[in-house]
Amino acid sequence: MSTKTPGKSSRRRRSADETRRLVLDAAVDWIEENGSASLKVVDIARASGVSEVLIYRYFDDRQGLLTAALVDLWERYMIEPLDAARQMIADLPTEAFTPEFLANIGVQPSTDAARKSRWARLQVLAASPENPELREMIKASQSRINDEHESLIELIRSRMPGRHLPSVRMMRMLNQNVIFGFVIEDLVDDSVSDEELRDFLTMFYRTMYEPEAD
């Protein structure tokens, strides 16, 4: 026998966090597809299925929504690759950790996904000079990202016995510079290929790593 109250829907109502997440996801998708300059609250309301009135309850104005979406975009493209790498190496045996292995972690700069990622991050940085709140939020976010990045490097080194010559901080900075360096490569026809980068990194890691003596 049904115990439903007549006239009431059985559909579960979204929580405030779920609604805010829905709006943010729609805003991030919009920025990725159309750029940040064209973002309008009315378009995000239509895309998310959340009313403009409700959106303004979570974000003071368009600028507040844009800032939150840009920070979310920044963290999504900076943190997720680190998490994916951590999961990938979690169950690997010690003997798998070699200079060649390190050179192959995440080295696919020519893929559409990689291009989309670095140009999205560049767009966030480009918006920050005129948005002090965004700049401060990115600064705080990047501090956390640096910690995560260095933690991953330390984890790899703990699984790869020997002497690693560059410091963890320098390796983190070099990794980040390689990521953003390919923005320039995207602008030319004869860009550095995945294979060229992999060969260079293999040579670099072999030079910068001294395995333990038997």
Spatial neighbors of 204 by CB under 8 A, at least 6 apart, are 103
Q: Is the pLDDT of residue 62 over 60?
A: yes
Residue 181 backbone dihedrals phi, psi, to 5 degrees? -60, -30
> pLDDT category, 192, cuts 50, 70, 90?
very high
* Model pLDDT for residues 99-120, shown as the tens digit of each residue: 999 998 877 888 998 888 888 8
* Model pLDDT for residues 165-187, shown as the tens digit of each residue: 999 999 999 999 988 889 999 99
Q: What is the mean pLDDT of residues 41-51?
A: 95
Query: For residue 80, what pLDDT is reported?
Result: 86
> pLDDT category, 214, cuts 50, 70, 90?
low
Where exactly are the structural domains of the chain? 13-59, 69-211
Q: Is the pLDDT of residue 148 over 90?
A: yes
Q: How far from 49 is each of 19, 52, 57, 65, 208, CA to CA, in Å?
A: 10, 9, 15, 16, 53
The domain made up of 69-211 is a member of CATH 3.40.605.10: no
| The model's pTM | 0.81
Q: What is the mean pLDDT of residues 52-66?
A: 94
* Model pLDDT for residues 23-38, shown as the tens digit of each residue: 999 999 999 888 888 8
Q: Kindly report the number of other CB atoms within 10 A of residue 8's CB atom.
A: 7
> pLDDT category, 161, cuts 50, 70, 90?
confident
Average pLDDT in the chain: 89
Q: What is the mean pLDDT of residues 76-100?
A: 89
Fold of 13-59: Arc Repressor Mutant, subunit A (1.10.10)
Given a contact cutoff of 8 angstroms between Cβ atoms, the answer to whether 127 and 39 are in contact is: no
Do the domains 69-211 and 13-59 match in fold?
Answer: no
Q: How far apart are CA 167 and CA 165, in angstroms?
A: 6
Measure CA 58 to chain center.
24
Q: Percent of the chain scored above 70 by pLDDT?
A: 94
Q: Is the pLDDT of residue 91 over 90?
A: no
Q: What is the mean pLDDT of residues 183-194?
A: 93
